[in-house]
Amino acid sequence: MSTDRSPLAPDGFPELPSIAGVTPRVARARYKDWDRCDLTFVTLDPGTTVAGVTTQSKCPSPEVEWCRRALPLGSARALVVNAGNSNAFTGNRGREAVETIAAQVARRLDCEPSDVFVSSTGVIGVPLPIDKAEAGLVAAFEASPCNWEDAAATIMTTDTFAKAATTSAVVDGKTVNLVGIIKGSGMIAPDMATMLGFIFTDAAVEPGFLQHALNDANKASFSCITVDSDTSTSDTVLAFATGAADNAPLEDDDSDGADAFRAALSDLCLQLAHLVVRDGEGASKFIRIDVEGAESDESAHRVALSIANSPLVKTAIAGEDANWGRIVMAVGKAGEPAERDKLAIRFGTTQVARDGLAVEGYDEAPVAAHLKGSEIEIGVDLGLGDGRATVWTCDLTHGYISINADYRS
């Protein structure tokens, strides 16, 4: 956790409602030599349903594998999040740690181990110390309930600020609330989610519909952000629905309020995803990249990612250099259909290139002024079809190198 708050951070932590049926607590397991809480324990009332999306990494953590096996069952009673140690690439010792955590919580709550969801974040390759995890859980069991800010701060690693958001919707004539907390700053690339995010709602939602709604929300949010093109071994986003709002359960898209719930969930996920980008390691610019005119939305998405992940594009933005040639390069290397003489590029509202060459009489001054701000927009029109996509990223500064060169020290 950094002591230097990102210049792109919001002014403060938002006011969040409590979610009936959800009780967060935090404790110190002392996974690292730091003077802060590093274990989050959330209890969920009986009847809570769950959905989730996890990393597409071929080297997932034991926690990710545990969640994948439990998610199809659709029920949850608890969440445990460890910060400071990802427990990834740790073989049988790592799996034993997850099983021990789930069993200890299950005994406490008199539930099935599969009702306990576990996530960990931090250094890869170091087994999670079981003795510290067990002691941390004992402390968490006895701790007083905490607020959302404490819970969000406890799951942080290299994050510079605690991240959370809220939305609401009217479902079956009742107002339901949604709250999300998230962590993520580096090792962020959109091959699912690339961070740990946890969403809680008092809505009654059947697990199948909750999963479909989360899949769609993820596709337009967490899977549209990138900081450094690196996909984590531990990426997990889980959504828990307690049903305490007592609405008629949302079963499918024909249920009363289904559209409103979907919209609220999508809004919440996008808010959380943007917070991750705004805390990108070393970031000083929040960058929106819009690609249109592609042969398909999927093609536009891949082109946008090629631009967003280019170190040359990201360093040019960091240096406030209106080098649109690097955008051309990133489009050309994406491996997607593109025609040089149909390509158009803009920075902010200023068109800089069209029909494969610089706009006649192009004045760089307004572009330079745009790049001096902290909110940057890049637009690309491929001129081939109706496909479009938006991706969000940040610039690449020396701060990123400093943070990651010293990560384990």
Return the active site residues.
194
**Amino acid identity at 262:** R
183 carries a ligand binding annotation: yes
**Alpha carbons within 13 A on the beta-carbon side of 132:** 17
- CA dist., res. 350 & res. 368, Å (int): 10
**Amino acid identity at 184:** G
- CA dist., res. 242 & res. 75, Å (int): 10
User: Hey, is 244 helix, strand or coil?
Assistant: coil
- CA dist., res. 61 & res. 90, Å (int): 8
User: Hey, is 103 helix, strand or coil?
Assistant: helix
Could you tell me which residues are beta bridge partners of residue 199?
A: 180, 239
**Amino acid identity at 365:** A
Residues 6+ apart with CB under 8 A from 254: none
409 carries a ligand binding annotation: yes
55 carries a ligand binding annotation: no
Is there a contact between 149 and 40 (Cβ–Cβ < 8 Å)?
Answer: no
Is there a contact between 14 and 34 (Cβ–Cβ < 8 Å)?
Answer: no
Torsion of CA 135, 138, 143, 147, to 10 degrees: 70
What does DSSP say about strands 39-44 and 196-201: parallel, antiparallel, or unpaired? unpaired
Rounded to 5°, angle at Cα 303 from 298 and 305: 95
Is there a contact between 227 and 186 (Cβ–Cβ < 8 Å)?
Answer: yes
> Which residue is associated with the tokens 């006895």?
142
250: how many CB neighbours lie within 10 A of its CB? 28
What does DSSP say about strands 22-27 and 39-44: parallel, antiparallel, or unpaired? antiparallel
- CA dist., res. 335 & res. 309, Å (int): 14
Q: In the numeric block, which tokens belong to residue 173?
A: 């004539």
> Which residue is associated with the tokens 């917070």?
275
Query: Residue positions in the annotated binding site for substrate?
Result: 157, 183, 194, 281, 404, 409
